[in-house]
Amino acid sequence: MGWQLIRGYALLVYVFMFLPVAVVVLLSFNASQFGSFPITGVSLRWFGELAQNEAILRAFRTSIILGLLTALISTTLGVLASLALVRYRVPGENVISTLLIAPILVPEVVLAVALLLFLNFLGINKSFGLLLFGHVIFTLPFVILVVQARLMAIRRDVEEAAMSLGASPVQTFFQITLPLMLPAVLAGALFAFTISFDDITGTLFWKPGGVETVPTQIFAMLRNSISPEINALGTVMIVMTVGLPLLGAAVARILSRKSGT
C-alpha cells in the first residue's frame, strides 16, 4: 500500500519533469502560425524556416565552435589535473580539490562579473576570447569531477605489468594508459561541450554585441512572444543535448569493452 503510494508519487514527478518538454516537441510540429494551441495539423514547416534563418544558423555555428574549443581546453587541463590527483600522493590534496571545484561554488553571476571587469581592466574587451575563457573556467570543475571518478576505476597493475614486460614509460602511456583513459577523456569532453552549449548566465555578460549563441538567441527571440520557430529550435536542442550524451555513453561502452575492462 505504502509502496504503491510512493510509486504513484514518483510517477507524477516524472510527468512534471517531462510534460513541458514533450509539449515543446509536440508544438514544434504544429502547422498553426502561432506557437501555441490548438494544434491545427502536422507540419515540418517550422524546421524548414529554422534552416533558412540566418541569425539562428550563425548562433549555431558560434555555439558549436565555442563548445568544441571549450571542450578541448577544459578536457586537456582537467585530465592533467585529474591524473595528478588520482595517480600521485599530493600534499594538501583536499585543499587543491576544493580550489579546483571553486568555480562551481561561486555563483555564476559573480564569476561572470569578476572575469568581465578584470579582463576589461587588462584591456581585453568583450570578445570571443573572453567568452572562451569564461566557458573554460566554469566547465573545468565538472570535467575534473567526471574524469577523476572514471580514472579511479582504472587498475594500475595493468600499467605495471606492461612496464615489467619491458615497455618504456612513454610506450606504456600511449599503448596502455591512454586507451584505458579514453572513455574518461571522452566523457569529460562531452560534459564540457554540453555545459558550454547550454550556458546563458555567463554568456550574456561576456558576449560581444551582435554575437549570439543558441541560448542567447532563443532568449532574445522570447522578448516578443513564443514563435513556432522557438519550439522547433527547442526540439533540435533537445535532440542534440539528449542525443549526444546518449551517443557518447554508447561509444564509451563500446570502447571500454574493446579494451577489455
Partner 1 sequence: MSIEARERRQPWILLSPALTAITLLLFVPLLFIVVYSFWLRTATGADQSGFFLDNWREALSDPFYRDILLFTLKIAAITTLVCAVMGYPAAYFIARSRGNKAVLLLLLMLPFWISYIIRTMSWINILGVSGALNTLLLWAGVISEPIQMLYNQTTVILGLVHFLLPFMILNVFVSLDGIDVSLEDAATSLGATRWQAFVQVTLPLSLPGLAAGGLLCFVLAAGTYITPLVLGGPTDAMFANLVYEAIITQLNWPLGSALSLMLLAVLGLLVMIYNRYLGMAQLMKGLG
Tell the smallest beta-carbon distance from residue 22 to partner 1 (Å).
9
Q: Is 98 in the site for partner 1 (CB under 8 A)?
A: yes
Q: Is 161 in the site for partner 1 (CB under 8 A)?
A: no
Per CB under 8 A, the segment of 47-55, 145-153, 160-168, 173-181 that binds partner 1 is 145-153
CA–CA gap between residue 252 and residue 231 (Å, rounded) = 31
Contact, 128 vs 66, CB < 8 A?
Answer: yes
Question: In the window 190-249, what residues touch partner 1 (CB under 8 A)?
Answer: 194, 197-198, 200-201, 204-205, 214-215, 218-219, 222, 226, 230-231, 234, 237-238, 241-242, 245
Tell the smallest beta-carbon distance from residue 99 to partner 1 (Å).
6
* One of 59, 66, 136, 184 touching partner 1 (CB under 8 A): 136
Tell the smallest beta-carbon distance from residue 161 to partner 1 (Å).
20
Tell the smallest beta-carbon distance from residue 29 to partner 1 (Å).
13
Question: In the window 57-76, what residues touch partner 1 (CB under 8 A)?
Answer: 76
Q: Is 103 in the site for partner 1 (CB under 8 A)?
A: yes
Binding mask 22-61 for partner 1 (x = CB under 8 A): -xx--x------xxxxx-----------------------
Q: Is 155 in the site for partner 1 (CB under 8 A)?
A: no
**Nearer residue to partner 1 within complex by CB, 148 or 172:** 148
CA–CA gap between residue 23 and residue 235 (Å, rounded) = 10
CA–CA gap between residue 76 and residue 193 (Å, rounded) = 13
Q: Is 84 in the site for partner 1 (CB under 8 A)?
A: yes
Q: Is 166 in the site for partner 1 (CB under 8 A)?
A: no
**Nearer residue to partner 1 within complex by CB, 33 or 171:** 33
Tell the smallest beta-carbon distance from residue 100 to partner 1 (Å).
6
Range 115-151 burial, b when 16+ CB lie within 10 A, else e: bbeebeeeeeebeeebbbbbbbbbbbbbbbbbbbebb
**Nearer residue to partner 1 within complex by CB, 4 or 52:** 4
Question: In the window 1-20, what residues touch partner 1 (CB under 8 A)?
Answer: 2, 6-7, 9-10, 13-14, 16-20
CA–CA gap between residue 163 and residue 141 (Å, rounded) = 32
Q: Is 124 in the site for partner 1 (CB under 8 A)?
A: no
